[in-house]
Amino acid sequence: MSVRAVVFALAFLAACGEPQPWGESIPTTLDLRLAKVPSEVALLQPFDLRLDLFWRQDLEVEFSPEVPTGTMGTVRLEPERELAHGRWRRAWLHLRATEGPRELVIAPFRARSKDGTAVVQTDEVRLQVTSLLAAASGVPGADPAAVADDVEIPGPLLAPPMPQWPWWVGALALIVLAAAIRWWQQRRSRPRPAMSVALEPPHQKALRELQRLRARPRRTEEEVADFYVATSHVLRVYLEERFGLRAPERTTEEFLAEVEAGGPLSVAQCIDLRRFLQQCDLVKFASHVPPEDQHLQTLLVAELLVEATRSDRAATTVGGAA
């Protein structure tokens, strides 16, 4: 490598702030390097991959990396730069794993010359995708609230200004309330016949709502998201009424921690419930759209869990997984 090329490379590195991956061993024709590869990533959490491509000055190359299967994100190509006797271009892949927990296999990235004389590719990448929802219960000292904050959609920072009409409505409501209290006090001394109110069991309400959701359309992404939100809500309300758990107002991980600690469900039922809620959260917060058979399987898990824990039957293990 000439002195002039070394001086140029050092000046360029000082300008861009991050070194090129070849050092002084500049390739002769075509080379593709992959860097910034983590060994483990959490589900739905961002991570980056970096690709560096070098090609000889007189070559025309084809290089268009895409978002790998099993992830979501964007690809950002930096401008071409001169490097020694050729050109250098860097690509950043800003990704989130959308399937897991499991091993994520990223296929090799490729680049080739347009005349077909040179082809290069990176090695296959294997990443271990861990469960974000299980992080708080699986890692000693982890904060469940911090994990929940990563998957819950944040609310608005500032509340909009309140118009004047709610004050008038509130004043009218107070007047009506005062009139109702006076009327009730006047009728208080009158004897009333005893009335027995037959309350509908929680499992009947839950099964009726799940049957109604089975017929709901799931053609668009919005309809699919609404279906999973409604299905999750029905099961949470049922468990709250059946076992006295505070389900709807809690995050997924807080709710699962109470269920697993309190012991109202068996170990197998807790596993099925965790998988069910993870599937619902993945659709709600990661825009994941499962196929129709997955919708029906998710609905079936909820129905089986209700049937297995209803108050008029002995508890059984729920089969299947969301």
- Asked if residues 61 and 55 have their Cβ atoms less than 8 Å apart, the reply is yes
CA 26, CA 17: separation in Å to the nearest integer?
19
Residue 133 DSSP SS3: coil
pLDDT for the residue numbered 159: 60
Lowest-pLDDT range of 3-17, 35-49, 187-201: 3-17
- Give the residue with greater pLDDT, 321 vs 49: 49
- Enclosing H/E stretch for 61: strand 61-62
**Residue 10 pLDDT > 70, yes or no?**
no
For 322, residues 6+ apart whose C-beta sits below 8 A from its C-beta are: 272, 275, 276, 277, 278, 279, 280, 297, 298, 301
**Residue 229 pLDDT > 80, yes or no?**
yes
- Give the CB-side neighbour count of residue 252, counting CA atoms within 13 A: 29
Please report the beta strands in 167-320, taking only residues with DSSP state E, as ranges in sequence order.
Answer: none
**Residue 3 pLDDT > 60, yes or no?**
no
pTM: 0.40
Read off the pLDDT band of 1 (50, 70, 90): very low
CA 216, CA 227: separation in Å to the nearest integer?
7
pLDDT for the residue numbered 133: 62
Percent of the chain, pLDDT > 70?
Answer: 77
Over range 242-249, report the average pLDDT.
73
**Residue 4 pLDDT > 50, yes or no?**
no
Backbone angles phi, psi at 195, to 5 degrees: -125, 135
Domains of the chain: 26-130 (2.60.40.10), 202-309 (1.20.120)
For 293, residues 6+ apart whose C-beta sits below 8 A from its C-beta are: none
For 72-118, the pLDDT digits (tens) are 999 999 999 998 889 999 999 999 999 878 899 999 999 999 988 88
For 278-298, the pLDDT digits (tens) are 888 888 887 778 888 888 888
Read off the pLDDT band of 321 (50, 70, 90): very low
Q: State the chain's mean pLDDT as an integer.
A: 79
- Asked if residues 203 and 310 have their Cβ atoms less than 8 Å apart, the reply is yes
Q: 43: which 2 tokens?
A: 């589900």
For 112, residues 6+ apart whose C-beta sits below 8 A from its C-beta are: 30, 61, 62, 118, 119, 120
For 157-181, the pLDDT digits (tens) are 556 666 788 888 899 999 999 999 9
**Residue 136 pLDDT > 70, yes or no?**
no
pLDDT for the residue numbered 152: 52
Strands 102-106 and 125-130 come out as antiparallel
